[in-house]
Structure 1
Amino acid sequence: MLVSLVLVLSLNVLPASAQLAVRGETVYTMAGPPITEGVVLVGADGTIERVGAAASVRIPDGYRTLEAAVVTPGFVDARSTVGLSGLLNQTQDQDALDRGDPLQPSLRAMDAYNARDELVEWLLSFGVTTVHTGHAPGALAAGQTTIVKTAYGTIDEALMDSTVMQAMTLGSGIRGYFDKPGTRARAVADLRRALYAALEYDRKRQEDADHALDLDKEALAAVATGRMPALLEAHHANDILTVLRLAREFPQMRLVLSGASEAYLVLDALREANVPVILHPTMVRAGGERENATMETAKLLHEAGIPFTLQSGYEAYVPKTRVVLFEAAIASAYGLAPDAALSAITLDAAQILGIADRVGSLEEGKDADLVLFDGDPLEYTSHVCTVVVDGRVVREGCR
């Protein structure tokens, strides 16, 4: 317990940014081909100054040098509930899904996020430096997600984006948490009705600034008008097609599909709709709505040219949070090319989340989030040895 407390408290006292030179036998920038014998220079402001081959990059005097077999960008978990579904798995640390009502779009994940939960540090220890976290699947509209860095001890320090997407669900999974709406048809009808009501509310607010504020309608209006993407969880093929059909009914809506266990059955429809997919964890338990999940879906999405990333998702019990690095490794073992597997949890994730200007690749001007390995990141025999976040060395020692 004392060790755990020290780990958590250490997140509050990060070392000052230092000028770093990170040397790698292989550097995966994700912005181009890997660099053999590469160097990443990190400035005192916590951003990347230069990336290139060691032969062409001079390391200035005074820079601290770190060395590793492999260097990658910090990993991006594109869909998580970490910080809301805590390690203890007891009432006091479980805030991932409010069961008061199936439509609560005004809830904000940032208001419940616990940066000191030990699971946040656990992810950081495996190089997951950025997390898109929020409400768990199970409600028609569960609330607004948030993006945080995992190296900080308060939400104010960790925050990258406070309100990112609206977490939503369609399919039979809602019935496990709420008595209503009940059937699939009723769920879609209730959501459709709420979206149209939100559009009408938005029209009145545009016409009359004194029109009474309704936080739930305000949040759904943002979805219906495309100001905030809809992160819609669906697994069965028929539910995925319903999601696509609903999105066509609201042409301004920006849709991101989450879960998607049977995406391999509707690849043509997904490609035509140009909808990005935040795919279920590769090692997800195959049961319930996920009964037909396969470990090959990542490969199939990649081959079909459909933009996708991987998620740790929501775990009601152990392990409480998964690690996207492990999920990518298994996806690679089941046919996804290794470079595509790494891209799925770095640049592809950042692009889908709209944060690729800061994270996801090692390029000049971006946040200096780096992970140093003693071997191939996708091999179980390799270890994360150093993690750098915003130019600060936040973890050292191979594990």
Structure 2
Amino acid sequence: MKKILVILVFMLGYLSNAQVPSPIEQTHKTILLLHGKAHIGNGEYVDNSSIGIKEGKILFVKNALTNPITESDWDTIIDITGKHVYPGFIAPNVTLGITEIDAVRATRDFNETGQMNPHVRSLIGYNTDSEIIYTVRTNGVLVTQSTPRGGVLSGTSSVMALDGWNWEDAVYLMDDGVHLNWPRKMNSTGWWAEPGPSKGNDKYTEQKRAIWDFFKKAQGYNRKLLPQEEVNLRYKALNGVFKGDKRIYIHADFAPEINDIIDFSREFNFKHPVIVGGYDAHMLANRLKENHFSVIIGRPHSLPKFEGDDVSTYYKLASLLQDKGVLFCISNEGDMEAMNTRNLPFLAGTAWAYGLSEEQAIAAISLNAAKILGLDDRIGSIEKGKDATLFVSDGNALDMRTNEAYLAMVKGRFIALTNHQIQLYNKYKKKYGLTGLE
């Protein structure tokens, strides 16, 4: 039976009274979103769109004015006239889902003991009941790369949806890649608010050689060139990286280290190398492109790395990489990164203000991220055949003043757009007789 979903608003209002929203069962076989302003994610924009969804997959995206729709063909029709439709935003390289309270060690499940831990998997530590997740997805962030931290080889990340009963439900891409923290040639002194002069790292060559040697041994092990009397989980975890099935994410900011990383990648013939951070990546754009590197930009709302740098250096980085043709996306790595992941759309908004077009800024947190993570065949844009992981906002989602998620779907299922912060707001709004957010 066809339903005009004005009742969806009431459904979400009912769910907002629940303390912990449960995943919503998919009961709609065919869904039609009509008359929205569709930001496709691939640079395209459809002002008056009709988006057809069947059994969780996007069936089509058309101009509603030039492509008449037979309403009787659809179970559910939702009129979103004047509202903006976006692909679910993707947050790469954050600890969302594997940390809850930064100040409480027992809730931090992202940093294991030891230096070489490529076999440590963030996947099985992912907590779908994290309250932080609910605060993040109300801003349109619906997918995350749950990423380990610490040591030299931190571990293996996985790409997760921000909805599901458990990690098995939530997983989008299991064990997508291994994270390597490259040493610095120069170490900074002071602290972030009062940086001091840089000091040379006397152990840089030694540290770099240790990484090189570890990968050489792992390569030999996986090619069965070394004795295999016992299973070596650390070496085995890198097999997918050597074969090209997994990404290698190398965390580094500065040009000297990035140059060495490119040589390192060429030595081992990595198929999908990614620079994470990349403060100086624009300086080496040609080498990065020649060697098939992409870049996950560190948090743009950060201070410049050097005292003499322009205060807007980070703001412009996305535009510089765009102009030079380097595939990039934006992340929110840094202090309190899990809870601050909700600000990801506004980081893209700043990149829009400093050189990107609006649609390029949207791509920087949707399709570009999906390409880098190896999931662009399933998510990242509102295109035929992809999962219906998307959301509708009352206003422009890249502006904190107008980002107001109206409805959202993950893998074709509606999700509840509520969190404990909204619940507390509504509770005390009633006490003081205020009006506003519902």
Query: What band does the TM-score fall into relative to the shorter chain?
Result: 0.7 to 0.9
1:116 corresponds to which residue? 129
Measured in 2, the distance between the counterparts of 1:317 and 1:174 equals: 25
Q: Is the 8 A contact 1:39 1:52 kept in 2?
A: yes
Pair 1:96 & 2:110 matched: yes
Percent identical among aligned pairs is: 22
Measured in 1, the distance between the counterparts of 2:351 and 2:18 equals: 31
Q: Which letter maps to 1:101?
A: G
Q: Is the 8 A contact 2:315 2:351 kept in 1?
A: yes
Pair 1:391 & 2:412 matched: yes
Q: Which letter maps to 2:61?
A: V
Pair 1:351 & 2:371 matched: yes
1:85 corresponds to which residue? 99
Structure 2 counterpart of 1:256, from 258, 270, 274: 274
Q: Which letter maps to 2:52?
A: L
SS at match of 1:164: strand
Pair 1:30 & 2:41 matched: yes
Q: What is the Cα deviation at residue 134 of structure 1?
A: 1.4
Q: What is the Cα deviation at residue 320 of structure 1?
A: 5.1
Q: Is the 8 A contact 1:195 1:224 kept in 2?
A: no
Q: What is the Cα deviation at residue 114 of structure 1?
A: 1.4
Q: Which letter maps to 2:141?
A: V
**Per-residue displacement from partner, 1:263-317 (whole Å, max 9, x unpaired)?**
233223223323110111211344599x885211000000000011111224357
Measured in 2, the distance between the counterparts of 1:6 and 1:395 equals: 11
1:272 corresponds to which residue? 290
Which range moved further: 183-192 or 297-306?
A: 183-192
Correspondence 1:99-248 to 2 at 5 A: 100-136=113-149, 138-172=150-184, 183-204=203-224, 211-248=229-266
Gaps of 5+ in 2: 1-13, 189-200, 419-436
Structure showing greater radius of gyration is 2
Moved beyond 6 Å, runs of 4+: 3-8, 173-176
Q: How many residues align?
A: 386
Q: Is the 8 A contact 1:81 1:314 kept in 2?
A: no
**Per-residue displacement from partner, 1:102-131 (whole Å, max 9, x unpaired)?**
111110011221121112222211111111
Gap change, CA 1:146 and 1:173, over 3 Å in 2: farther
Q: Is the 8 A contact 1:28 1:34 kept in 2?
A: yes
Measured in 2, the distance between the counterparts of 1:193 and 1:70 equals: 51
Which range moved further: 78-87 or 230-239?
A: 78-87
Q: TM-score, normalised by structure 2?
A: 0.80
Gap change, CA 1:112 and 1:7, over 3 Å in 2: farther
Q: What is the Cα deviation at residue 327 of structure 1?
A: 1.0
Gaps of 5+ in 1: none
Q: Is the 8 A contact 2:348 2:362 kept in 1?
A: yes
Gap change, CA 1:170 and 1:358, over 3 Å in 2: same
Correspondence 1:64-83 to 2 at 5 A: 64-67=77-80, 68-83=82-97
Gap change, CA 1:318 and 1:365, over 3 Å in 2: closer
**Per-residue displacement from partner, 1:341-380 (whole Å, max 9, x unpaired)?**
0011111111111111111111222111111112222223
Q: Which letter maps to 2:23?
A: V
Gap change, CA 1:318 and 1:14, over 3 Å in 2: closer
Q: Which letter maps to 1:165?
A: G
SS at match of 1:296: helix
